[in-house]
């Protein structure tokens, strides 16, 4: 996937790539999200009274000669990292998408007209590119990756894994096994509140904000994940996120269990940054390897 090699990140909390929409191309910085399936960007008709609309690039269908009109309107809901519901409103558009030199034609996506300011005004990204299964689409559209497959461009990813165990200082969490997903749209690692509390206690962290002191960070215990019988180690330098020189936060966050799907843990950027993740939806496989940097 050539576009996945683009080296863009924001404070180690968001990872994104640049895509082009329309002909000629209109450029957008897109958050790459394994946990969703839709592509959306702000519309030129986005509510300009919202700070989030003013700060980001906007799609202008009148400037693209490959745009196809679609009258379908949408209302969809996302959850932010505080598990608060945020709603997006807009209209479906159809146009060509260029990703890392790869062309996807006649892709349906969301042109957002309104979304909560607090949801997007601080983001470096203009929109979201979900690379999950099309059946998870909130817009009811075929995903960009599925269209890539149908058009002979790339292979599909898979997003679901089974997490065998998590261990810190010889204390095991989810020892009987628990369900997890990999989510590039989530900056931390999420887990059940009770187990996150145990994890914090064992590594000696009380609050989510920690001192940005190298000696302090280096003395925190490593955390071991066991996936498919293989061991994956996160050092304190991996799971302490340095937002600024004086602002460091713990890369773990408690989250509600997804009762419907039984998903207890989310392996977000704090894990993926350490381990190169290869997704193969065609063969329903997920692979990890140690990242070079």
pTM higher than 0.75: no
CA distance 249 to 232: 21
Using an 8 Å Cβ cutoff, are 236 and 217 in contact?
Answer: yes
Evaluated on CA atoms 255, 261, 266, 269, the torsion sign reads negative
Q: Is 183 assigned a catalytic role?
A: yes
52-61, 165-174, 194-203: which has the minimum mean pLDDT? 165-174
What is the C-alpha end-to-end distance of the chain, expressed in Å? 19
Domain end, chosen from 131, 151, 171, is at: 151
pLDDT for 241? 87
**What's the confidence (pLDDT) of residue 282?**
64
Same domain, 25 and 126: yes
Range of the domain at 109: 16-151
Band of residue 12 on the pLDDT scale cut at 50, 70, 90: very low
- Residue 19: per-residue pLDDT: 93
Which pLDDT tens digit goes with each residue over 15-61?
Answer: 567 899 999 999 999 887 766 789 999 999 987 677 777 788 999 99
pLDDT digits (tens, 9 = 90+) for 225-252: 887 778 888 898 888 988 888 889 998 9
Q: What is the mean pLDDT of the chain?
A: 78
Q: pLDDT (tens digit, 9 = 90+) per residue, 90-106? A: 999 999 999 878 899 99
Question: Does residue 277 surpass a pLDDT of 90?
Answer: no
| 9 is an active site residue | no
Asked if 90 and 144 sit in the same domain, the reply is: yes
Say which CATH number the domain at 176 has.
2.40.70.10
Residue 284 maps to a domain:
yes
Among 110, 134, 151, give the residue marking a domain's end: 151
Q: Is residue 95 domain-shared with residue 200, that is, in the same domain? A: no
Number of domains in the chain: 2
Q: Out of 9, 33, 126, 214, pick the active-site residue.
A: 33
Q: Which of 38, 126, 183, 269 is catalytic?
A: 183
Say if residue 146 is in the same domain as residue 164.
Answer: no
Rounded to an integer, the average pLDDT of 108-117 is 85
Give whole-number Cα distances, 19 to 137, 158, 292, in Å: 20, 22, 25
Res 274 pLDDT > 70: yes
């Amino acid at each position: 996937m050539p576009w996945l090699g683009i080296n863009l990140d924001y404070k180690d909390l968001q990872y994104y790539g640049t895509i082009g929409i329309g002909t000629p191309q209109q450029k957008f910085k897109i958050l790459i999200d394994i946990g969703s399936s839709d592509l959306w960007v702000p519309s030129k008709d986005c509510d300009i009274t919202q700070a989030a609309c003013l700060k980001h690039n906007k799609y202008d269908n009148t400037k693209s000669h490959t745009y196809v009109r679609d009258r379908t309107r949408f209302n969809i809901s996302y959850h932010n990292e505080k598990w608060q519901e945020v709603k997006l409103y807009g209209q479906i558009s159809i146009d060509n998408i260029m990703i890392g030199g790869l062309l996807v034609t006649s892709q349906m996506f969301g042109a957002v007209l309104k979304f909560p300011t607090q949801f997007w005004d601080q983001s470096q990204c203009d929109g979201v590119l979900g690379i999950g299964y099309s059946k998870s689409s909130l817009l009811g559209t075929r995903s960009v990756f599925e269209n890539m497959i149908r058009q002979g461009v790339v292979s599909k990813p898979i997003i679901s894994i089974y997490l065998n165990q998590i261990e810190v200082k010889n204390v095991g969490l989810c020892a009987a096994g628990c369900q997890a997903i990999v989510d590039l749209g989530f900056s931390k690692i999420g887990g059940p509140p009770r187990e996150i509390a145990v994890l914090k206690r064992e590594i000696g962290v009380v609050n989510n904000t920690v001192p940005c002191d190298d000696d302090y960070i280096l003395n925190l215990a490593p955390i071991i994940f066991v996936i498919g019988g293989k061991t994956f180690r996160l050092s304190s330098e991996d799971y302490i996120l340095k937002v600024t020189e004086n602002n460091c936060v713990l890369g773990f966050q408690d989250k509600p269990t997804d009762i419907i799907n039984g998903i207890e843990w989310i392996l977000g950027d704090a894990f993926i940054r350490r381990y190169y993740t290869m997704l193969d939806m065609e063969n329903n496989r997920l692979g990890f390897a140690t990242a070079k940097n």
